[in-house]
Amino acid sequence: SEISSFLLPGDRSKAGQLAIVSLARDDFAAINLDNSTGAVDGYAEGAVLNTRFGSFPHSTLLNVPWGSQVRASTVDTGSRGRKRRLDATDDDTPAASQDEIEKSDKQAPAKKAVVASSGFVYLLRPSPELWTSSLPHRTQVVYTPDYSYVLQRIQARPGTRIIEAGAGSGSFTHASVRAVWNGNPVSDEDVKGKVFSFEYDEIRYHKMKEEIKEHSLNSMVHITHRDVYRDGFNVDGKSPKATAIFLDLPAPWKALHHLSRQRVTADEQSGSDDGREWVSPLDPNQSVHICTFSPCIEQVSRTVTELRKLGWINVSMVEISNKKFNVSRERVGIDLPNDRGNTQSPADVTEAIAKLQKVSKRSQEFHKLQAQQNAKNGVSSEMEIDTPETTSKNPSPPRELEKQWLSGKLVTRPEADLKTHTSYLVFAVLPREWSEEQEAAALAKWPCGE
């Protein structure tokens, strides 16, 4: 089956793939690239992405290297302009009423005016981080700083079988799928790694199922519509044999009795008994790592008590206090194209280059002197030195600009405040099962102390 673009995105965008469009630094939109040639949604040229930076027919977003800057197309203001004004949902301009539009269309009769937009977007390959920033929120979601820490603490790695509940908006699901995929497109499902996801809310369950299919993650994610407090974590009566668990539920302690090695009856609810033999959803041959995610300390308390009662060890709690550091390079007396692509006027650039040449000459003299000194002291000089002769033979102002830019100091600016509290993370480990027979077999194989 097709490998998800979250796992193997390829070098270029393709039709049918999810792509993330970066509109501004923290403003992303997820789109499914569509190569239909017929009219789509009233647009003659097929599907179109309308943004406040202009219109982008999908045809201009296809087969481009990921990370490319794509310019807005020049669009006429015919039916498409009309449509944009009508729904104007992702535009800064307020939506006009149907009457206003008809009136203005009469006043300015069907001229095929062409609007050149100087806007652009970046087309980015899908990743769990970008999906988290652009996904449709149906619930609170787990963000990147939390899930990256959680995934390493619960030892989610290639081949791991992980249980997750509730699925919610699927933010954690996408991150965990990438963590457990073993990178081999053809490997057996049992060793590829798998996410067993559970969701109680029917609408969210169906939405998640649809998204997982659209993102070609079906073979990696098995989602079940279920109340896990009541019915636990087995799938079709079979154990997922999980070694990693993440519970983002309002009352995680109510689900813990299902995550044991032996059958346990819950204090508050009795697990449903369908007459079948009880099977643990955990891998009997490995330790299991769990994380529960709860916003209140009272929830933490109840979870910890239940974990201890059920034999979990190494119980600990962590809160992630995330702070962003903006890293940039200090300007050094020149102006380069800024991050929106605007450049200086030609006169300014000439002046900047002249300045640079002066700086560069001083630097060459310094290095030359140093090389001479090194030679005198018998030290070899690894650095290749641009002499005035070589630079005059090959004057390269753009490279000089780059060098000058690189000579600017890297500076970091931390955000003033910590992000507000998200949740407390409770971690614990359930050691592997170890029976008397296993102990006897181990002793027979590796006798010790006799």
In terms of CB distance, is 51 or 176 closer to ligand SAM? 176
Interface with ligand SAM, residue 204, by CB under 6 A:
yes
* Rounded-to-10 torsion of CA 180, 182, 187, 191: -50
> How far apart are alpha carbons 84 and 169 in whole angstroms?
29
Write down the least CB distance from residue 321 to ligand SAM, Å. 19
For residues 148 and 322, the answer to whether their CB atoms sit within 8 Å is: no
Give 320's contacts (C-beta < 8 A, 6+ positions apart): 145, 146, 149, 422, 425
Write down the least CB distance from residue 293 to ligand SAM, Å. 7
For residues 51 and 21, the answer to whether their CB atoms sit within 8 Å is: yes
Give 205's contacts (C-beta < 8 A, 6+ positions apart): 167, 199, 223, 225
From 47-55, 73-81, 195-203, 319-327, span contacting ligand SAM (CB under 6 A): 195-203
From 162-170, 315-323, 397-405, 410-418, span contacting ligand SAM (CB under 6 A): 162-170
Interface with ligand SAM, residue 139, by CB under 6 A:
yes
> What x-and-dash track marks residues 210-239 binding ligand SAM by CB under 6 A?
----------------xxxx----------
> How far apart are alpha carbons 43 and 73 in whole angstroms?
13
Write down the least CB distance from residue 185 to ligand SAM, Å. 26
- The pair of structure tokens assigned to 129 is 């981080």
In terms of CB distance, is 165 or 352 closer to ligand SAM? 165
Choose, by CB under 6 A, the member of 198, 253, 312, 424 that binds ligand SAM.
198
Write down the least CB distance from residue 165 to ligand SAM, Å. 5
From 32-40, 134-142, 339-347, 390-398, span contacting ligand SAM (CB under 6 A): 134-142
In terms of CB distance, is 55 or 169 closer to ligand SAM? 169
> How far apart are alpha carbons 212 and 384 in whole angstroms?
53
> How far apart are alpha carbons 8 and 199 in whole angstroms?
27
In terms of CB distance, is 88 or 141 closer to ligand SAM? 141
Write down the least CB distance from residue 255 to ligand SAM, Å. 7
Find the binding residues for ligand SAM in span 257-316 (CB under 6 A): none
Give the chain's end-to-end CA distance (angstroms, integer): 55
DSSP single-letter state for residue 282: B
Size of the site for ligand SAM (CB under 6 A): 23
> How far apart are alpha carbons 161 and 153 in whole angstroms?
15
Find the binding residues for ligand SAM in span 327-356 (CB under 6 A): none
Choose, by CB under 6 A, the member of 13, 22, 55, 171 that binds ligand SAM.
171
> What x-and-dash track marks residues 238-257 binding ligand SAM by CB under 6 A?
----------xxx-------
Residue 52 Cα distances to 23, 28, 134, angstroms: 9, 12, 16
Strands 69-71 and 54-57: unpaired
> How far apart are alpha carbons 420 and 146 in whole angstroms?
13
Residue type, 116: A
The H or E element spanning position 6 is none
> How far apart are alpha carbons 322 and 317 in whole angstroms?
16
Choose, by CB under 6 A, the member of 76, 91, 105, 201 that binds ligand SAM.
201
- Burial annotation 386-402 (CB, 10 A radius, 16+ → b, else e): beeeebeeeeebeebbe
- The pair of structure tokens assigned to 128 is 């769990």
Point out which residues pair with 31 in neighbouring strands: 19
Write down the least CB distance from residue 228 to ligand SAM, Å. 4
Interface with ligand SAM, residue 165, by CB under 6 A:
yes
In terms of CB distance, is 142 or 356 closer to ligand SAM? 142
Choose, by CB under 6 A, the member of 172, 181, 233, 424 that binds ligand SAM.
172
Interface with ligand SAM, residue 163, by CB under 6 A:
no
From 36-44, 66-74, 164-172, 326-334, span contacting ligand SAM (CB under 6 A): 164-172
Interface with ligand SAM, residue 208, by CB under 6 A:
no
Q: Which residues in this chain contact ligand SAM in the complex, by CB under 6 A?
A: 139-142, 165-166, 168-172, 198-201, 204, 226-229, 248-250
